[in-house]
Homo-oligomer: A and B are copies of this chain.
Amino acid sequence: MNLKKIAGFAAAEEIQDGQIIGLGTGSTTHYFIEKVGMRMKEEEINVMGIPTSYQSFLLAKEWKIPVTTLEEHDVDIAVDGADEIDPNFNLIKGGGAAHTLEKIVDYSAEKLIIIADDSKIVNKLGKFPVPLEIISESRKPVFSALEDMGANPKIRMAQYKDGPVISDNGNFIVDADFREIDNPIQLEKDLNSIPGVVENGIFSQMVDQVILGTSDGVEVLK
């Protein structure tokens, strides 16, 4: 049983005719976008998507979901994945290096739904390293700042290209291992105050609903 598919498909059922949808990035939102495309065809609903990455843009096109922009439309509902979800619905995101545009779109949405398989639920954030998108020139001072904050930072190296992963915005991705994060709300602010950090992968105080894929089916947390 594909737990990601269960969550993604369930979220797609929440979408209503006429809505503007924030299209998250990753393997779980993949199923969400697919199912929205299927519903457009089968039920003849009309929606438009605002992608959070080249990946979700290309996927929207494949499923014939018309694409629009934050300039032209407000987001009614955004659906996105997560790498870790704590009991207060604080998240770590950015395994896919798309968290900057994800945060721009997700935070501007009237409603934000997070979809995941149930392995993503944790008591405390921090086992998954926090991704940061950084200006390349700041690599060294950013590492110093992160180490002062107790993290172990690594620059993310690419496959299929030599050297570091480059984000859709042309920047480096740093994975900062904090092991345990006591105060994600504060950490999200502190990380963005480091010069050179474009955006970090902690998403706090934003989520309206979590839809989990479990071996017993869909579970909805509010």
Partner of A108, one of B98, B107, B141: B141
A162 touches B96 (CB 8 A): yes
- Specify which chain B residues have a CB less than 8 angstroms from the CB of A72 in the assembled complex: 61, 66-67
Selected interface stretch from A11-19, A116-124, A192-200, A207-215: A192-200
Chain A binding surface, main DSSP class: mixed
B173 touches A100 (CB 8 A): no
Q: Is A135 an interface residue (CB 8 A)?
A: yes
Residue of B nearest to A169 (CB): B135
Distance in angstroms from A144 CB to nearest chain B CB is 8
Partner of A135, one of B66, B192, B198: B198
Known: A135-B169, A141-B70, A195-B107. A158 touches B157 (CB 8 A): no
Q: Is A148 an interface residue (CB 8 A)?
A: no
- A122-159: contact bitstring with B at CB < 8 Å (1 yes, 0 no)? 00000000000001111111001000000000001111
B162 touches A167 (CB 8 A): no
B162 touches A104 (CB 8 A): no
Chain A interface size, under 10 / 10 to 19 / 20 to 34 / 35 or more: 35 or more
Task: Give the CA-CA distance A137 to B106 in the complex, in Å.
Answer: 13
Q: Is A90 an interface residue (CB 8 A)?
A: no
- Specify which chain B residues have a CB less than 8 angstroms from the CB of A105 in the assembled complex: 137
Residue of B nearest to A55 (CB): B163
Partner of A198, one of B25, B167, B198: B198
Task: Give the CA-CA distance A170 to B54 in the complex, in Å.
Answer: 12
Partner of A199, one of B26, B188, B195: B195
Identify the A interface with B (CB < 8 A): 25-27, 53-58, 61, 66-72, 96-98, 100-101, 103-105, 107-108, 135-141, 144, 156-170, 172-173, 188-189, 192-193, 195-196, 198-199
Given contacts A61-B71, A166-B170, 18 further A-B pairs with CB under 8 A are A54-B164, A56-B163, A58-B163, A70-B140, A97-B161, A100-B195, A104-B141, A107-B195, A108-B140, A135-B169, A157-B160, A158-B159, A161-B173, A166-B166, A166-B167, A189-B189, A192-B192, A195-B199
